[in-house]
A and B are shown apart, each in its own frame.
Chain A
Amino acid sequence: MQSVGIVGYGVCVPKYRIKVQEIARVWGEEGDRISASLGIIEKSVPDIDEDAATLAVEAARNAIAFAKIKPDAIGAIYVGSESHPYAVKPTATIVAEAIGATPNLTAADLEFACKAGTAGIQICMGLVGANMVRYGLAIGADTSQGRPGDALEYTASAGAAAFVIGREKEEIVAEIEATCSFTTDTPDFWRRQHAEYPSHGGRFTGAPAYFRHIIGATQALFEKTGTRAADYDYFVFHQPNGKFPIEAAKKMGIDPQKVKPGLFTPIIGNTYSGASPIGLCGVLDIAKPGQRILLTSFGSGAGSDAFAIRVTDAIEKKRGEYCGRRLSDYLNDKEYIDYAIYVKHRRKLKM
């Protein structure tokens, strides 16, 4: 297959934050202990007028501004989310219209818990690599929900990341050298039709779900590409909390210091479909030409997509020219809210 890669990338993280301490206060839990055991200080909370579609649009606009391409050259848009605003009516068409890519394109929504965004990257790689479209736009966006009082409430947050996938060598800022997946039917986390909140298997979400799939996909990628941990400068793993990615690295003999630059869950929470993609964007903001990144997502249900990525010389010029909002801008532009306002923002009150 011809080489394909990331031509542009962008993120969006809502402005509001709630501290783990504040959530713990409401439920009579020890905030310090929970914060330490999850490796999370605070999480992002969407504004009352934000949803997966608005976050996807903003991330997509940033990615297109970075890529410096005409939106109508995009031939495919895939939006991965577990919180699409409609059960029936695609988020992808809202994004396509908002960025000005309509009407000559294909678009669809994807759902695979936290890995729907990377599934979109793989589909775009296929379409772009097969010359079926010039550019593909893959987005992971979520405003995830946790049942009040449930462990998930400390982590479920909101955010999005978007990637313009292309094949013109001089446009690519990070070449995707290889990808492979590891998929099984594992009932670790689910949400039934019409259910407000997801259910999960508690401790079962660890070893048989997260770790088995992350390690399975990452090791399969090592085998496929003939590489090993030492060949990569950065590792970005799905980050449901601040602990799992570090633990996964240790289990595979990877230096945790290579994971930390792409680990944002401790300060924005688990953005679900946006989680590992935002991590990748954070690494792309600092990586040098020639450096290699290994990204492995995880979606409950369950599966992992692993990617071997090499940063190209083009990244420095494009990064320098980009004048839109970067991940660091979104991380710094924050306002804390208390649990009562959080409840209003997340519509947890039934009136």
Chain B
Amino acid sequence: MPSENLAITWRRIPERYRLVGTFCRNCQTSYFPARKLCPKCRRKGKIEQKQFSGRGKIYSFTEVTAGPSGFEKQTPYILAIVELEEGPKLTAQIVGARKVKIGDAVEAVFRKIIEDSEEGLIHYGYKFRLV
């Protein structure tokens, strides 16, 4: 069974594949995921597309031992809030490490996130690894 609507998956490809968010030229704030309107500047905001570098650090993390549907076979895995060097924070899996600590430097990698089913769509996107 598909985990989400195909059109939503398709629309989020730039965000998931290469960390495309937005940036407000007026107040110099970066947004990820993308915002169409700058909540600080409202109508004065000048929103434009921005691709994030993928570099950041671990802001917080947890170890998942009982994964949700589709992630059961990956447990235990580390799920972290990563603070990107441009400012925004996002939630992502950490690969290739069993132990991490707050403040560890990480970089984005392109990985398989979930498969809808044996015959379904494969969803790709960002995860992070220690640098």
Q: Are the C-beta atoms of B17 and A50 separated by less than 8 Å? A: no
A99 to B17, CA, bound (A): 8
Q: Are the C-beta atoms of B113 and A49 separated by less than 8 Å? A: yes
Closest to A56 in B: B110
Q: Are the C-beta atoms of B124 and A54 separated by less than 8 Å? A: yes
**With A49-B113, A49-B127, A53-B124 as given contacts, are A100 and B18 in contact (CB-CB < 8 Å)?**
yes
* B25 CB–A CB distance under 8 Å: no
Q: Are the C-beta atoms of A51 and B18 separated by less than 8 Å? A: no
**With A53-B124, A86-B122 as given contacts, are A99 and B18 in contact (CB-CB < 8 Å)?**
yes
Chain B 92-131 interface mask (CB, 8 Å, partner A; 1/0): 0001100000000000011111000000001010010000
A111 to B17, CA, bound (A): 24
* A94 CB–B CB distance under 8 Å: yes
A86 to B112, CA, bound (A): 13
Q: Which residues from chain A contact B124 at a C-beta distance below 8 Å?
A: 53-54, 94, 98
Chain A stretch 1-48: residues in CB contact (< 8 A) with chain B: 15, 47-48
* A175 CB–B CB distance under 8 Å: no
Give the distance to chain A from B75, nearest Cβ to Cβ, in Å.
11
Q: Which residues from chain A contact B90 at a C-beta distance below 8 Å?
A: none
Chain A 338-351 interface mask (CB, 8 Å, partner B; 1/0): 00000010000000
* A58 CB–B CB distance under 8 Å: yes
Of B18, B51, B74, B112, the residue contacting A50 (CB under 8 A) is: B112
Q: Which residues from chain A contact B127 at a C-beta distance below 8 Å?
A: 49
Q: Are the C-beta atoms of B14 and A97 separated by less than 8 Å? A: yes
Q: Which residues from chain B contact A61 at a C-beta distance below 8 Å?
A: 110
* A311 CB–B CB distance under 8 Å: no
Q: Which residues from chain B contact A335 at a C-beta distance below 8 Å?
A: 96
Closest to A335 in B: B96
Q: Are the C-beta atoms of B122 and A98 separated by less than 8 Å? A: no
**With A15-B96, A47-B95 as given contacts, are A98 and B110 in contact (CB-CB < 8 Å)?**
yes
Q: Which residues from chain B contact A53 at a C-beta distance below 8 Å?
A: 112, 122, 124
Q: Are the C-beta atoms of A100 and B51 separated by less than 8 Å? A: yes
A99 to B13, CA, bound (A): 12
Q: Are the C-beta atoms of B112 and A49 separated by less than 8 Å? A: yes
Closest to A324 in B: B107
| A interface residue count range (under 10 / 10 to 19 / 20 to 34 / 35 or more) | 20 to 34
Give the distance to chain A from B127, nearest Cβ to Cβ, in Å.
7
Q: Are the C-beta atoms of A344 and B17 separated by less than 8 Å? A: no
Q: Which residues from chain A contact B51 at a C-beta distance below 8 Å?
A: 100
Q: Which residues from chain A contact B110 at a C-beta distance below 8 Å?
A: 54, 57-58, 61, 98
Q: Which residues from chain B contact A126 at a C-beta distance below 8 Å?
A: none
Of A48, A58, A85, A98, the residue contacting B74 (CB under 8 A) is: A48
Closest to A60 in B: B110
Closest to A61 in B: B110
**With A48-B73, A49-B74, A49-B95 as given contacts, are A58 and B17 in contact (CB-CB < 8 Å)?**
no
**With A57-B110, A86-B122, A98-B124 as given contacts, are A47 and B96 in contact (CB-CB < 8 Å)?**
yes
A22 to B18, CA, bound (A): 38
A335 to B127, CA, bound (A): 19
Give the distance to chain A from B104, nearest Cβ to Cβ, in Å.
16
Q: Are the C-beta atoms of A344 and B13 separated by less than 8 Å? A: no
A344 to B74, CA, bound (A): 10
Closest to A55 in B: B110
Closest to A16 in B: B96
Q: Which residues from chain A contact B112 at a C-beta distance below 8 Å?
A: 49-51, 53-54
Give the distance to chain A from B119, nearest Cβ to Cβ, in Å.
10
Give the distance to chain A from B88, nearest Cβ to Cβ, in Å.
19
Q: Are the C-beta atoms of B95 and A85 separated by less than 8 Å? A: no
Chain A stretch 161-198: residues in CB contact (< 8 A) with chain B: none
A98 to B109, CA, bound (A): 11
Give the distance to chain B from A103, nearest Cβ to Cβ, in Å.
11
Q: Which residues from chain B contact A58 at a C-beta distance below 8 Å?
A: 109-110
Using CB atoms and an 8 Å cutoff, list the residues of chain B in contact with chain A. 13-14, 17-18, 51, 73-74, 95-96, 109-113, 122, 124, 127
Complex A-B: 13 CB contacts under 8 Å = A47-B111, A48-B74, A49-B112, A53-B112, A53-B122, A54-B112, A58-B109, A58-B110, A94-B17, A97-B14, A97-B17, A335-B96, A344-B73
Using CB atoms and an 8 Å cutoff, list the residues of chain A in contact with chain B. 15, 47-51, 53-54, 57-58, 61, 85-86, 94, 97-100, 335, 344
For the complex with contacts A49-B112, A85-B122, 18 further pairs of A-B residues with Cβ separation under 8 Å are A47-B95, A48-B73, A49-B74, A49-B95, A49-B127, A51-B112, A53-B112, A53-B122, A54-B109, A54-B110, A54-B112, A58-B110, A94-B124, A97-B13, A97-B14, A97-B18, A98-B110, A344-B73
